[in-house]
Structure 1
Amino acid sequence: MLKAAIRIVAVVCLMCWSAACGHPPGQQAGQGGPESVYKGQTLNVLSWEGYQEDEWVKPFEDKYGVKVNVSYAGSVDEMFAKAASGSVHYDLIFMDGGSVTRYQKLNLLQPIDTSKLKNTAQLIPAMNKLNEKHVTFEQKAYALPFAWGSLPLAVNRDKIKEPVDSWSVLWDDKYKGKIATVDDANNQISMTALLLGFKDPYQLTDDQMEQVKQKLIEQKQLVRSYYTGFEDGKNLMASGEAWVIYTQGPTMVTDLQKAGMDVVEVVPKEGALVWIDNVTIGAKAQNPELVHLYIDYLISAEVQAQVVKKAGYGVVNQEAVKHISEKEAKDAHMDDADYFNRLVYVAFPESFEKRVKLWNEVKAN
């Protein structure tokens, strides 16, 4: 009896010792933690520049033993073309909220299971509510906000001394050959519609589209370059080839300022567009659990703060403000509640096809 009792005590002690070592049920010593279930998996991501930086991608890869393969696009049209081609099955695709409808209608996306995400509770309520109207279909969320920014003018004050307060500066003969503007059909047409005073720059009649086309053809002879990508635009300003530019975001301005240039951001009196870029899940995503894990990581306060610090984009997680400086918050316009009152949401337009056709006609004219 004594030997049997000793054996029982020994078994109980061994079980307690194993539990104290922290091995989950069904896991043996020497096996990895919960993270190891993803080891060796890959995420294919289609993204804008500045959204997949080593500062936050590498820690995720190292923690879970995964690889994040990133492809970049320089414009909305290029982004859509890559996603729609089917040559690569992207797990995650980043796009402005107004484009989500375009992708969803062609079954290029699948819904996000928000029950698998814990950080959605920290999204800025007003921004998230505004965004939801453009990314929810049949009560299913197809996207979540990741970053935001306006599309203002950037003006070199060393070269242009007079005050600038209108998009009409991009049509000013005085600056012929010193004007740069983005090679993007949707944003070009919407900006020009704002200049022409049309009430809704995303729902244009055929007559209004023709007026926009003629206005853009009129501008063409003045333009130094139609650029694609942040770096291309910044280089045009930094080299002095352009003195005024239709930007892809305020960070182009702050980057040039950091380089020592006297460049200012201008939100014209006609208003400027504001994009809220979203993360979406590709229709043929292979690793849904890992995809949701990465999304939750990207919208966390810690990663969002790094995005602001690295790229200066507007933050979508309200808790991230605790991790950034007052200057960083100011540069990202997070301290200016009235800033949004001068901005127009980049929405789904009356016809992407018509807009692309119009823009190609302008460039070919």
Structure 2
Amino acid sequence: MKIGERTSIYAALLGMLLSSGTAHAEGTLNLLTWEGYADPSYVTQFEKETGCKVNATYVGSNDDFAPKLMAGGGVYDLITPSLDTTKLMIDLDLVEPIDTAKIAEWNNIYPNLRALENIRKGDDVYGMPYTWGAIIMMYRTDAFKTPPTSISDLWNPELKGKISIWDDKSSIYLAARKNGDMNIYNLSDEQIAAARKALEEQKPLVRKYWTTAGELVDLYKSGEIVLSNTWAGNMASILKREGIPMTEFIPKEGAEGWVDIWMMVKGTPNTDCAYKYLNMQLSAVGQCAISQINTNSVANPVAAKTCMTPERFAELHQDDPTYLDKLMVWQSLGDRYEAYANAWNAVKAQ
């Protein structure tokens, strides 16, 4: 099915959803987001100060956003897809433009993030950059005499049952790089098929495909796994605080970069609470909280400086926004999205 065909079908489904008996509760924000992006440590205070009730549904993959928005089990107000999925949300008419004049610290966002192509359509801005980082690898240092250095180590038969990779279509990117196909966002059908084959060969070695930070942390804590890919700075930091000896590394085949974006779901009547939430998330309160909870880099360096030591600021590359340019930053797959997603789903269904 072509992207245009999907667009019309998805738009029709969304129209049916919005005209059905399911409705937003005014003053209640329903979020479809990642772990930590609606943490009680700061959301409780937000609710007290604004009177806006926050409900969060967590995703484990960017592939969850479109299906959940159209499933009919509830209506969301704000979502946080990553940069490779934002264009799809716009093309499927699932989100509406945001008024950047209503976001007090918009101009404090890194200029290269404000200028991202995948959050724009014409003169309209559809997303607020929030947090960013890299997808790298990590391992338990007490499990290796010779440290792993390559994506290929995730295919080491000696580690059978001791590895894990993210349950996400980006596993196709991972396998493609392992195969030497580095143009990962524009793979041919043959290259996608080769990546799928590599993942099918790897599958008997995999203990579990992880979906959330908490799940991956638990797999390491229990000793079930010793090597995985990971969101840089996130799970390793949590595990180190738990006394688990961990090391992160960028494999020799390079690392992907990501940016998570707040977007407003089309037709939400809760724009007042939504803008209050967006402002809180971009302020020092939200930026410092997500950096501390998920140990991510953030979009607003002015806010970051209020809570980070100079050493931590540099560690998270907040002093060097061009760091993202050195990564293989996620891109929209356009009409190739389905080919990637289908290949990954086929691996899991094997």
TM-score, length-scaled by structure 2: 0.87
1:342 shift after superposition: 4.2
Q: 1:284, 1:245 → 2: CA distance? A: 40
The answer for the alignment partner of 1:213 in structure 2 is 196
The answer for the alignment partner of 1:117 in structure 2 is 103
CA contact (8 A) 2:30 2:77 kept: yes
The answer for the alignment partner of 2:244 in structure 1 is 261
Match of 2:229 among 246, 264, 267: 246
The change in CA–CA distance for 1:48 and 1:157 in structure 2 (over 3 A counts) is same
Alignment of 1:86-101 (within 5 A): 86-101=72-87
Q: 1:123, 1:302 → 2: CA distance? A: 15
1:104 aligns with 2:90: yes
Match of 1:358 among 318, 343, 349: 343
The answer for the alignment partner of 2:52 in structure 1 is 66
The answer for the alignment partner of 1:310 in structure 2 is 293
More moved, 60-69 vs 277-286: 60-69
Q: 1:100, 1:341 → 2: CA distance? A: 19
AA aligned to 1:95 is P
AA aligned to 2:236 is V
Q: 1:163, 1:340 → 2: CA distance? A: 26
Q: 1:310, 1:171 → 2: CA distance? A: 31
AA aligned to 1:262 is P
AA aligned to 1:179 is I
The answer for the alignment partner of 1:146 in structure 2 is 130
CA contact (8 A) 2:305 2:313 kept: no
Could you say which structure has the larger radius of gyration? Answer: 1
1:155 shift after superposition: 0.9
1:277 shift after superposition: 0.3
1:174 aligns with 2:158: yes
The answer for the alignment partner of 1:134 in structure 2 is 118
Match of 1:203 among 186, 194, 202: 186
AA aligned to 1:290 is C
CA contact (8 A) 1:89 1:284 kept: no
1:59 shift after superposition: 1.8
1:335 shift after superposition: 5.2
Q: Deviations over 1:246-278 (max 9, x none)?
A: 114430111111111110111111111111000
The answer for the alignment partner of 1:79 in structure 2 is 65
Q: 2:34, 2:345 → 1: CA distance? A: 23
Secondary structure at 1:221 match in 2: helix
AA aligned to 1:172 is N
The change in CA–CA distance for 1:301 and 1:192 in structure 2 (over 3 A counts) is same
Q: 1:77, 1:294 → 2: CA distance? A: 24
1:330 shift after superposition: 4.9
The change in CA–CA distance for 1:364 and 1:211 in structure 2 (over 3 A counts) is same
1:159 aligns with 2:105: no
How many residue pairs match? The answer is: 324
Q: 1:101, 1:238 → 2: CA distance? A: 37
AA aligned to 1:265 is E
CA contact (8 A) 2:82 2:261 kept: yes
More moved, 238-247 vs 301-310: 301-310
AA aligned to 2:150 is S
The change in CA–CA distance for 1:86 and 1:106 in structure 2 (over 3 A counts) is farther
1:326 shift after superposition: 3.8
1:49 aligns with 2:35: yes
CA contact (8 A) 2:52 2:273 kept: no
1:74 shift after superposition: 1.5
Q: Deviations over 1:25-80 (max 9, x none)?
A: xxxxxxxxxxxxxx971111111001111222122211111201111112222233
AA aligned to 2:83 is G
Alignment of 1:225-236 (within 5 A): 225-236=208-219
The answer for the alignment partner of 1:273 in structure 2 is 256
1:111 shift after superposition: 0.5
AA aligned to 1:283 is K
More moved, 243-252 vs 332-341: 332-341
CA contact (8 A) 1:90 1:284 kept: no
1:287 shift after superposition: 1.7
CA contact (8 A) 1:182 1:248 kept: no
Q: 2:206, 2:140 → 1: CA distance? A: 16
AA aligned to 1:354 is A
Secondary structure at 1:320 match in 2: helix
The change in CA–CA distance for 1:339 and 1:260 in structure 2 (over 3 A counts) is farther
1:192 aligns with 2:175: yes
TM-score, length-scaled by structure 1: 0.84
More moved, 344-353 vs 150-159: 344-353
Counting aligned pairs with the same residue, the percent is 31
Secondary structure at 1:246 match in 2: strand
1:106 shift after superposition: 1.3
TM-align CA RMSD? 1.9
Secondary structure at 2:207 match in 1: strand
Q: 1:201, 1:54 → 2: CA distance? A: 37
Secondary structure at 2:208 match in 1: strand
CA contact (8 A) 2:26 2:269 kept: no
1:325 shift after superposition: 2.3
